[in-house]
Amino acid sequence: MTAMNFLKPLSALLARKTSLFVSLTAVVAFFAPELFAWVRGCAQIAVLGAIMLAMGMTLSGADFRILASRPLDMALGAAAQYTLMPAIAWLLAESVDLPREIAAGLILVGCCPGGVSSNIMSFLCKGDVAFSVGMTTLTTLLAPVMTPLLMLHLAGEQVDVDAAGMIRSTLLVTVIPVALGFALNTVFGRRAKFAEFKLILPGVAVVALACIVGGVVSAAGDGILRSGAAVFAAVLLHNAFGYIFGYAVAFSARFPESKRRTLSIEVGMQNAGLATVLAARHFPAMPDTQLVSALSCIWHSVSGALLAGVFNRMDSLLAAKDPYAAAARTLNRGGVAVIPTDTVYGIAARPDRPAAVSRLYSIKGRDAGKPIALLASDVAAVEKFGFKLEGRARELAEKHWPGALTLVVGGEGFRVPDHEKTRRLIAECGGVLRVTSANLSGRQPAADAKRAFAEVGLTADCTIDDGVSPGGVPSTVVRVLADGSLEVLRRGAVDIGASAS
């Protein structure tokens, strides 16, 4: 067994059990704080940088182009961050008449920007990672102005945020690691070995997050036990209302599901580590203010992992009830799905979702110069897509479709699979899907879901398990030339014989 054969399923297990793993780490850190005493200063920055490097390695140019094309989404997210969380903290403090120290700590947490841990949660629950990273960066850069202004207005307390320090931290922890990861993905993302390496990134991110939580718990020490029910309830409600109202804002703005999840997490998870530093600096005589910030730092990471697990569990329940409906939902919101066909299992994306198509190349490690064919629900869907089937092409389509023949017409390859459920799925997703075999480039195609999941399923958004594909052999690919003759580009399941001449 190679190291990757061990690490890939381990990474998948950690991604599924993130909340449990992080919670257990917090318990271990409480009883044995010396194990995580190293997660301080430069070491903590290095761990956070490793997390963001892993996030950057999942991003493509298409992600950032889409992000840049919708600046109002970022503006709405930042506005939600700096209005909802401060307002919720103030309302909680006023409605239950919290003691001044606790109220100041809660409002301070609410006035801080989004935390880096939110990027991991977005990644784990199939959210919009580029949007998450963009929001974290934007709200952090706004913090030197927004945090002091909001604290003065809502709590009547003066705090100073080191603008130069915030910019430096943002560069070291977020911008530079993400840029480096993005560059690596851009240069090496089409290579199968790199695509395989990316399958362990979820596990790397979860372990790094657990280290950060362990470090915070070890530093907080006995203060956690002194928090009391009132402090914990205030922290829990503040965080929970942030998740709920963040999702509600995204829903009202008609964001796709991936962005709804991301905005929910971004709004609910604050940079409580920054709040802890500010509380220690500006409120040294108010220990409960520091305690609220430290407890928020721990709880936000645990609750974020729990929420990511809830989102994933919802997906799993839907997939168990109707896997094809779950896949349609995933594809229509801009995700990537592993689907069965009549030949071999494929990995699919909607052609009108450029970020999803880019992910197909990245997940498979496919050369950017190699086009990905389109599976269609029927001939009418091919023609609706803009390609008229005439002459020899129509003759072959009528003879072999549905079936395992891919026709290359006008620079695009089309096929109608002989798999009724998959054709219905394609019809629900606009009539055509970009589909390539569910295996890393250079490897044998997968004829069953278990093999397909082991190859590419860890980084896809969902996988349909519908048994063994009946064909087990890739389709035959032919190009229809201008004179009506055929050029065989790949021999496969269909033997066209003399008709190729």
State the helix-helix crossing angle for 41-56 and 129-155, rounded to 10 degrees.
140
| Cα separation, 52 vs 38, whole angstroms | 20
pLDDT single digits (tens) 378-418:
999 999 998 888 888 899 999 999 999 999 988 899 999 99
| Cα separation, 313 vs 310, whole angstroms | 5
pLDDT single digits (tens) 176-222:
988 999 999 888 877 778 888 888 888 888 898 899 888 888 877 66
Instruction: Please write down the HEC assignment for all residues of 104-155.
Output: HHHHHHHCCCECCHHHHHHHHCCCCHHHHHHHHHHHHHHHHHHHHHHHHHHH
Going by the DSSP 8-state scheme, the letter that residue 475 receives in this structure is P
Q: Where are the domains of the chain?
A: 3-321, 324-494
Write down the residue that tokens 């089409």 correspond to.
190
Provide CATH code, domain 324-494: 3.90.870.10
| Cα separation, 499 vs 342, whole angstroms | 23
Note down pLDDT in tens along the chain; length 501 residues: 577 778 888 888 888 888 889 889 989 998 999 999 998 888 888 888 888 888 888 888 878 887 788 889 999 999 999 999 999 999 998 888 888 888 888 998 999 898 888 988 998 888 888 899 889 888 988 888 888 888 888 877 656 667 777 777 778 888 898 899 999 988 887 777 888 888 888 888 889 889 988 888 887 766 666 667 778 888 999 999 999 999 999 999 999 888 999 999 999 999 888 887 788 777 777 877 888 888 888 889 889 989 998 998 888 888 888 999 999 999 998 889 999 999 999 999 999 988 889 889 888 888 878 899 999 999 999 999 988 888 888 999 999 999 999 999 888 999 999 999 999 999 999 999 999 999 888 888 899 998 898 888 778 888 999 999 888 788 899 998 877 788 888 888 888 764 554
Which segments of 171-227 does DSSP mark as H helices, in order? 176-188, 192-197, 201-220
Contact 262, 304 (CB under 8 A): no
Asked, colleague to colleague, whether 3-321 and 324-494 share their fold, the answer is no
Tell me which architecture the domain covering 3-321 has in CATH. Up-down Bundle (1.20)
Q: How many CB atoms lie within 10 A of CB 218?
A: 21
| Cα separation, 35 vs 218, whole angstroms | 8
